[in-house]
A and B are shown apart, each in its own frame.
Chain A
Amino acid sequence: KNEVEQSPQNLTAQEGEFITINCSYSVGISALHWLQQHPGGGIVSLFMLSSGKKKHGRLIATINIQEKHSSLHITASHPRDSAVYICAVRDYNTDKLIFGTGTRLQVFP
């Protein structure tokens, strides 16, 4: 079983829909990262959080440490949001990042 599980693996949406991507993990962590990978391959960091909730524009990330679960929400989705979204956790003991396999999101006009 992977230490970081994301769901769903693939997601399609119509423009304007509210999107939720989930991440569950099984190790003790010091932080959780949400990353975005565009079709060209480059990876950018969206959020790093260790508790509660963060918001940036139309993106919201939440984490529940007790339940070992995080969600990434996209409000009013747009075709430019089409990308792979990757959850990664920083292992508390090793200080290394463990990555999920990603969620591929396609938003259609």
Chain B
Amino acid sequence: DADVTQTPRNRITKTGKRIMLECSQTKGHDRMYWYRQDPGLGLRLIYYSFDVKDINKGEISDGYSVSRQAQAKFSLSLESAIPNQTALYFCATSDAPSSYEQYFGPGTRLTVT
């Protein structure tokens, strides 16, 4: 089984709908991240969490919110989806500070119509 899983893998939704993307990990890492990837752009950080009580905004947090329900679970919500949130979303974990290597989930392809 994959160490970092994301659900759903693909989602099509309409403008204005609320949607939640979920991420689970079995690696036991404290640090978790949400990124989005757009064509022609590098991955950009939306939110990150260093533990259950520590959640921080990334460079593009507007329009998004997160919840760290447990060490293993980190969810990303779009409160009112808009078409320019159409992108590929990745969850990642890291066992920093012992190692800064990041482990990525398989991605969620989100389309907002």
Contacts and interface: CB of A to CB of B under 8 A. Distances in A.
Interface of A: 2, 4, 30-31, 33, 35, 40-45, 48, 86, 88, 90, 95-102
A45 B42 contact: no
Given A86-B42, A101-B42, A41 B100 contact: no
A33 B104 CA distance: 13
B107 A97 contact: no
A85 to B, nearest CB: 12
Could you say which interface size class chain B belongs to?
20 to 34
Interface in B21-75: 40-45, 48, 58
A100 B40 CA distance: 10
Contacts of A102: 42
B97 to A, nearest CB: 9
21 contacts: A30-B100, A31-B100, A33-B101, A33-B102, A35-B104, A41-B88, A41-B106, A44-B104, A45-B101, A45-B104, A48-B100, A86-B43, A90-B100, A96-B48, A97-B45, A99-B42, A99-B43, A99-B44, A101-B40, A101-B42, A102-B42
Contacts, number: 47
A96 B58 CA distance: 9
A44 to B, nearest CB: 7
Nearest to B59: A96
Nearest to B40: A101
B35 to A, nearest CB: 8
Contacts of B96: 95
